[in-house]
Structure 1
Amino acid sequence: MLELFFSVCRDRRQKDKERDRDKDRERSRKDRERDRDRRDKDRSKKSRSESLMEQQTEERRRQLDEERKKRRIFQDIGRKMLEDPQERERRERRERMERENNGNDEDDGRQKIREEKDKGKELQAIKERYLGGMKKRRRTRHLNDRKFVFEWDALFCIFYCIAFDLDCLRSLFLEKHQVQLYGRGFIAGIDLKQQKRDQSRFYGDLMEKRRTLEEKEQEELRLKKVRKKEAKQRWDDRHWSQKKMEEMTDRDWRIFREDYSITTKGGKIPNPIRNWKEYSLPPHILEVIEKCGYKDPTPIQRQAIPIGLQNRDIIGVAETGSGKTAAFLIPLLVWITTLPKIDRIEDSDQGPYAVILAPTRELAQQIEEETIKFGKPLGIRTVAVIGGISREDQGFKLRMGCEIVIATPGRLIDVLENRYLVLSRCTYVVLDEADRMIDMGFEPDVQKILEYIPVTNLKPDTDDAEDPEKMMQNFESGKHKYRQTVMFTATMPAAVERLARSYLRRPAVVYIGSAGKPHERVEQKVILLMKKLLDVLASGFEPPIIIFVNQKKGCDVLAKSLEKIGYNACTLHGGKGQEQREFALSNLKAGAKDILVATDVAGRGIDIQDVSMVLNYDMAKNIEDYIHRIGRTGRAGKSGMAMTFLTKEDSSVFYDLKQAILESPVSTCPPELANHPDAQHKPGTILTKKRREETIFA
């Protein structure tokens, strides 16, 4: 009974659903018909808004149909889930049989259609074959199957001309038909130059006939200007200094670089600066340069500044006293003026925009003086972070905010580790006297400092880093500027190249003169005697004079001895405090002291004006330090004198010293040094005796 009851209920529910479904279909059909009739009536009167409303209505109706369909599918799934298993089996079997019957009926229908088509084709073929409906196809002939046909008529004409009228044949060959290609292509088998001449002659004659007198005069003037311009470009014997910027050719720029001993490598290098006014520097920077008294740029400034303004990494190799400080300061100031000023207290502890590293305190202080001279009129603040001064005072200045930090590696690491300074905003790094920093053992410190700087704004190590247009686009973008790393050095040892490969991206290298060569304006003298200091000092050299020794004790002893004799001498070496160093330098610059006795601490970067002589009381241990020592004189285009005392203990540098003196145009190598056995070969060279010099013992 229960099964019967459930089956009756199920059938009734099924019938109700089918009835509802039929009602829905009928209702939707009536709605569609009603809408269709309404659209037919109002189609001519509809506006754009009504058509839009109709589309929305149609879309809504389509959505309702989809919802009904989904609801129907959902109801079917629910009904199937509530079905009795046996009933489900019967239903599936019934549906399977219906599908098979439908499939067989379709196959039978396809077979009948195929047979009818075949019969039709067969009847058509019989009609064409036997009732004259078949057309005769034309035979196709291939290129290889062509039948040769002798042109008797043409041959007869030729024989006729030869026999009766030779003038006709002669005119045929003399007056050839000219094929006009209208400036495109050439005829094969004929000289190309001859064809060009013939074509130009043809078009020239044609245009000559068509032109009026005025057009002919204009054409003559145009050709005259073209010939004049070509002649001017072909040869212009004027010197580059007599030409305007726009008239400079590649040849002029090559001569310009040769005149100033500028050598470059590394991608697209911009043209150097001829003078300050011609180059497109910002007006406020030009005013500062004029106030500082820079009349003409030095060779390193001429080439390094244009490269620096392109936001490219630079390696500058130039002699001491060549103006390297301004070469990296001017692009740095242009860079900083494009960035927002650090005025708010909240921004003061974010760190500087630029960091300048120097190997010694004296060089850092000298760079600070130059930076203040340039940056103070522009409102750019500078802080020096060096040893010998209270770290707390430096930390207070850093907290107040600054755009540029000038530091020595040791003190800068101390400040960074103690959280007095962060470099999260630093986008410009300068390594001055990089070779000296590496010689003093600062390479790990420099690498550690560079690791404090963010790497998110590094240049890509691709050709884009050498493309000036892309670099300038990034520079002018204002945000996410690439980090710029600049390295200046007097020599280029392997350690400096290794550091450059690690931290510089596709740098432009600028050589001024020859790297590691002595100053050309410094006359070098060598005295091979025990000690002759007093005779040299009494020979009439004007102060200031710098005397270099190798040891701190020798520095103090020599200065005291000179003071006892009556000379005003001061000392500068690593054992002195920072205040004592500054006091000694200020006395020498002010003229209170005439002689500075120093170690190699003063050998690099110290800029003292009008040093008349550098005396190497103790010869340097290597030729690089010697070159930097004598670079303290002969600066800023002036001449100078460098004198060296040599003893037997200095024989390891005799060869390099001899070569340095021979390469100098204003120096003469003494015969004692030139003929010395240790000056004939480089140290470490293994010599082999000639056969005639060997002694054979019997």
Structure 2
Amino acid sequence: MVNRKSNYLQKSAPSRFVLLPTGYVERRDDHLPIPISEEDKENFGDDIEKVLTERNLPYSHADFGFAPDVRNIDEMYDEDLKHAEAYANIINEDDEVEVEGLGDQVLNCVESWKEAFDGKLLENIIRSKYIRPRNIQCSVIPLILDHYDLIVSAETGVGKTAAYLLPIIDECMKDKIKGEFTSAPNTPYAVILGPTRELVKQAFEQATKFAHDTGVSVAKAYGEYSVKKNKKEIGKLCDIICATPGRFLDFVENKVINLSKVRFLVFDECDILLAGDFKRVIDTALFGCEIQIAINRTTLFFSATMNDETIQLAKEYMRPEEILIVKNKVIAPSKKCVQEFKIAPKVGKFGQLLAYFRSELVKVDKDAKRLSPTFIFCEQRLSCEKIAYSLEKYGIPILPLSGLRAQDLREKALKEFRDNSITVLCVTDLGSRGIDVKDVDLVINYDMPKDYASYVHRVGRAGRIRHGKCISYVSPQTDGPLLLNIKKAMEKAGQKIPPSLIDCINTIDDSNTESPSLERGNNFVNTEGVLGTTNKVEESVATINVKKEEKSAKPQVFIKQVEEEKNIETFENVTEKHPPSSEKEEDILDDDGW
């Protein structure tokens, strides 16, 4: 067993430390300026030095007593009420859902909430102004209520979170009435895992809203939340726990969370959770600890970007009666977002961004509060700080959000963005997954992402309750292959190709795309979605048997690893807050586990 207490100061630096690319550095009188390069001066202008010298690097870890502020129930219902009319219009644009693996069985979709739920849960749904189930919910909800293991791939912004939360809450209520489950401290009925703290907190808040006055309790667990306070929360009642992998493993190992009664296990953004170190952390928590997760459970996988590898990994956790639900055969950017592409060399790119905002300010009579709510995505954590402070100088209400910042600062930025106290949020890919801010009208890719899947998720931050727009600044040196993947996916989805995308592809020299494996955009080249064009996935989708058989969903490869190693020393390398190897390190797997 790893002694975490003795390593805590080293791995989770308190607020007197800041995180630089070289590691943690002690703050001296709160005066540690943001580093400025000659390239910064060339890109942002000579006065950038003055702007940034007046600013300091943010502290990288919340105080040890930090506890997240949670929106109250009325605030969340008021938000739903505010967007009720727009929501009623946008749901008619959802694509049809295909269900594979049913065999000769007929899926009885739910056409109204009353067909699936009643009582207080139904009241909460109605109060949320959800007029009817969306297409993905029509298919997924009855299958979860029938306890099928599911892999669900659906485009961004179509109600995936509610699709799994509502039936889980309903089943928990019913099992309590039947006496098949009794709430107990530290003993969840359902576990929901997410890759980022922001996504986990969001799932927690939505679960709390739906479960209000139903007798179903909801708890959260993620990094930088005071361990003492977090244990106290879970030590009450925690029928549903929303957690990041690192904190989840720590609590399971130390018997703060007892998995023996779990009936539902959810992987939200499963393509991230099943990749690399996250998978090992999760496997250790589920199968490598003294008290392992219940065998007779329902396991659910959700993401907007699913490929063959993710499906095969997901099957390791599932029972034979797997169902594959596909939104469409092509993983394409949201059709509710108009996409625009602009060639922008690295030096001079900020000038284009500034010119755009200046033109937008003219349209709103220089009232910056009337600017469209906007996400600006960039690749580097320090870039978030530099872009935000530089735009702020020109009167743009903006805050940065990245793994460089402590959790309290991150949550404060997101709250101010939701409340319209600021209109622009400058983020790394930390904010690309699942974050649901309904007002967002515009996404700007200041830097293009490294892979196609990330592009899809970024675009999906806009166009959630009304049509939005995405502007991408394209590098001629690196982004050619990614642009080709975007074009290919849009063609297969039957979407109109933006003229600006074709212009950018034609502008980029052919030599930049001769060796696509060395360029951006090739980490996710299977844009044909879950079904693909081969028989490999079709063969993996078994016909559902009417009579379900119990089977241990424990990865066999992992069992062998645990038997051979008998320790988890590599956990130290997984859950510590890694300092980036360079400023360009991507920033999505941002969970320090504590």
TM-score (norm 2): 0.64
Whole-angstrom distance in 2 between the partners of 1:570 and 1:599: 12
Code of the aligned partner of 1:634:
G
**Using the alignment, how far apart are the partners of 1:294 and 1:347 within structure 2?**
29
Matches within 5 A, 1:600-639: 600-636=429-465, 638-639=466-467
Q: Distance in 2 between matches of 1:668 and 1:354?
A: 43
What is the CA–CA distance in structure 1 between the aligned matches of 2:374 and 2:276, rounded to whole Å? 25
Q: Is the 8 A contact 1:518 1:664 kept in 2?
A: no
Matched residues in 2 for 1:374 and 1:513: separation? 28
SS of the counterpart of 1:526? strand
Is 1:549 matched with 2:363? no
**Structure 2 counterpart of 1:621, one-letter code:** K
Q: Matches of 1:488 and 1:576 in 2, distance apart?
A: 28
Q: Could you tell me which amino acid in structure 2 is paired with residue 518 of structure 1?
A: P
Letter in 2 for 1:271: N
1:502-544 CA-partner distances (Å, limit 9, x unpaired):
1111221111134521111111110013321122223438321
**Separation in 2, partners of 1:641, 1:440:** 32
Contact preservation (8 Å) 2:342, 2:504: no
Question: Does the CA-based 8 Å contact 1:658-1:669 persist in structure 2?
Answer: no
Superposed CA deviations along residues 446-499 of structure 1, whole A, max 9, x for unmatched, are 2223225977964xxxxxxxxxxxxxxxxxxxxxxx411111111222442132
Deviations 1:558-579 (A, max 9, x none): 1110111111110111121111
**Among the aligned pairs, what percent are the same residue?**
32
Which residue of 2 is the match for residue 665 of structure 1?
495
Partner of 1:580: 409
Partner of 2:248: 412
Residue 538 of structure 1 pairs with residue 368 of structure 2: no
Aligned-partner residue type, residue 633 of structure 1? A
CA distance in 2, matches of 1:366, 1:649: 34
Which residue, out of 90, 93, 97, partners 1:262? 97
Q: Is the 8 A contact 1:651 1:678 kept in 2?
A: no
Deviation per CA, 1:264-319: give whole Å up to 9, x if none. Answer: 11233522222224x24333332221111111211111110011111111111011
Q: Please say which structure displays the higher CA radius of gyration.
A: 1
CA deviation profile, 1:136-176 (whole Å, cap 9, x unmatched): xxxxxxxxxxxxxxxxxxxxxxxxxxxxxxxxxxxxxxxxx
Asked if the contact 1:658/1:674 (under 8 Å) is kept, the reply is no
Q: Give the counterpart of 1:326 among 162, 186, 191.
A: 162
Aligned to 2:423: 594
1:400 to 226, 236, 240: 236
Per-residue deviation at 1:341? 7.6
CA contact 1:528–1:672 (8 Å) conserved in 2: no
CA distance in 1 between partners of 2:324 and 2:471 (Å) = 32
Show structure 1 runs of 5+ residues with no match.
1-256, 459-481, 686-698
Find the aligned partners of 1:631 and 1:297 in 2 and give their Cα distance.
Answer: 20
Distance 2:330 2:203 in 1: 22
State the structure with bigger RCO (CA 8 A, min sep 6), 1 or 2. 2
1:301 aligns with 2:131: no
| 2:483 is the alignment partner of 1:654 | yes
Match in the other structure for 1:497:
311
Secondary structure of 1:672 counterpart: helix
Distance 1:350 1:386, change over 3 A: closer
2:471 corresponds to which of 620, 640, 643: 643
Change (3 A) 1:535 1:289: same
Residues 553, 456 of structure 1: CA spacing in aligned structure 2 closer, same or farther, 3 A cutoff? closer
266 and 449 in structure 1: CA distance in 2 versus 1, 3 angstrom threshold: farther
1:339 aligns to what SS in structure 2?
helix
2:335 maps to 1:528: no
Inter-CA distance 280–368: structure 2 relative to 1 (3 Å threshold): closer
SS of the residue corresponding to residue 485 of structure 1 reads: strand
Residue identity opposite 1:517 in structure 2: A
Q: Across the two proteins, how many residue pairs are aligned to each other? A: 402
Q: What letter matches 1:351 in structure 2?
A: T
Aligned partners of 2:217 and 2:517: how far apart in 1? 51
- For 2:198 and 2:163, locate their aligned partners in 1 and report how far apart those are by CA, in whole Å: 19
The TM-score, its normalising length taken from structure 1, stands at: 0.54
Tell me if structure 2 keeps the 8 A contact 1:523–1:640.
yes
Deviation digits for residues 358-391 of structure 1, max 9, x if unmatched? 1100000110110010012212111110111101
Aligned pairs for 1:31-70 within 5 A:
none
Letter of the 1:640 partner, please give it. G
Evaluate the alpha carbon distance shift between residue 269 and residue 616 of structure 1 in structure 2; reply closer, same or farther with a 3 A threshold: farther
Report matched runs for 1:77-92 at 5 Å.
Answer: none
What is the CA deviation profile of residues 600-620 of structure 1, one whole-angstrom value per residue up to 9, with x for unaligned ones? 000001011121110000010
Q: Is the 8 A contact 1:490 1:515 kept in 2?
A: no
> 1:152: which partner in 2?
none
Secondary structure of 1:442's aligned partner = helix
- The equivalent of 1:271 in structure 2 is 108
Cα pair 2:262 2:294 within 8 Å, conserved: no
Instruction: Provide the secondary structure at the position in 2 that maps to 1:378.
Output: coil
C-alpha distance 498-665 of structure 1, shift in aligned 2 (>3 A): closer
Measured in 1, the distance between the counterparts of 2:415 and 2:496 equals 31
Aligned to 2:516: 683
**Offset at 1:683?**
2.4
How far does residue 342 in structure 1 lie from its aligned partner after superposition? 13
| Residue of structure 1 equivalent to 2:333 | 518
| Matched position secondary structure for 1:376 | coil
Question: Does 1:371 find its partner at 2:201?
Answer: no
| Matching residue of 2:68 | none
Task: Give the 3-state SS of the residue equivalent to 2:280 in structure 1.
Answer: helix
Deviates more, 1:671-680 or 1:529-538: 671-680
Query: Please, which of 555, 558, 563 is the counterpart of residue 387 of structure 2?
Result: 558
Question: Is the contact made by 2:204 and 2:242 (CA closer than 8 Å) also made in structure 1?
Answer: yes
Whole-angstrom distance in 1 between the partners of 2:317 and 2:261: 17
CA contact (8 A) 2:334 2:456 kept: yes
- Greater helix content: 1
Give CA-to-partner distance per residue, 1:311-367, whole Å, 9 cap, x none.
111111011111000000111011101223899xx9633511110001100000110
Task: Please tell me the residue identity of whatever aligns with 1:683.
Answer: P
SS of the residue aligned with 1:487?
Answer: strand
Q: 1:79-125 CA deviation, whole Å, 9 max, x = no partner?
A: xxxxxxxxxxxxxxxxxxxxxxxxxxxxxxxxxxxxxxxxxxxxxxx
Q: Equivalent residues in 2 for 1:53-202 (5 A)? A: none
Q: 1:516 to 1:678 in 2, by over 3 A?
A: farther
Q: Which amino acid aligns with 2:445?
A: N
Cα shift readout 1:673-692 (whole Å, capped 9, x = no counterpart): 2424268778259xxxxxxx
Q: Distance in 1 between matches of 2:293 and 2:188?
A: 17
Question: Which residue number in structure 2 is paired with residue 175 of structure 1?
Answer: none
CA distance in 2, matches of 1:619, 1:678: 19
Alpha-carbon distance between aligned partners in 2 of 1:615 and 1:440, rounded to the nearest angstrom = 28
SS in structure 2 opposite 1:649?
A: coil
- CA RMSD, 1 decimal: 2.7
